[in-house]
Amino acid sequence: DTAVSQTPKYLVTQMGNDKSIKCEQNLGHDTMYWYKQDSKKFLKIMFSYNNKELIINETVPNRFSPKSPDKAHLNLHINSLELGDSAVYFCASSLGQGGYNEQFFGPGTRLTVL
């Protein structure tokens, strides 16, 4: 069974559209994250939720809105997609928020905005 899964794996869409990426973890973790990896391979945290509460919100355009319906799910909705949003988006989870806890990453969603 996949520990952290994301859907879809690939997403190709036009500028201006609204899209969502879903993430689910079956590890029993209480903390989930979204990361963005751009074309230069820089991996940067965007958001983190702990027990459905937003705890990290980096400098991300408000077109990006995370939603955590329960501890096992963290979805990412993106409004009015722009060319610069093209990237690979990774979801991750961990048990607890502390620095001693490893994060488990999903396989990524490659978003291409045309």
Partner 1 sequence: DAKTTQPNSMESNEEEPVHLPCNHSTISGTDYIHWYRQLPSQGPEYVIHGLTSNVNNRMASLAIAEDRKSSTLILHRATLRDAAVYYCILRERINTGTASKLTFGTGTRLQVTL
- What is the rounded distance in angstroms from the CA atom of residue 97 to the CA atom of residue 78? 25
Nearer to partner 1, 17 or 26 (CB): 26
Distance, CA of 86 to CA of 110 (rounded, Å): 8
Q: Is 73 in the site for partner 1 (CB under 8 A)?
A: no
Residue 97 as a binder of partner 1 (CB under 8 A): the answer is yes
State the pairing for strand pair 109-113/10-13.
parallel
Q: Which is nearer to partner 1, 18 or 53 (CB)?
A: 53
Q: Cα–Cα distance between 14 and 114 in angstroms, integer?
A: 5
Binding-site member from 45, 60, 72, 95 for partner 1 (CB under 8 A): 45
Q: Which residues bind partner 1 (CB under 8 A)?
A: 4, 35, 41-45, 48, 50, 55-56, 90, 92, 96-100, 102-108
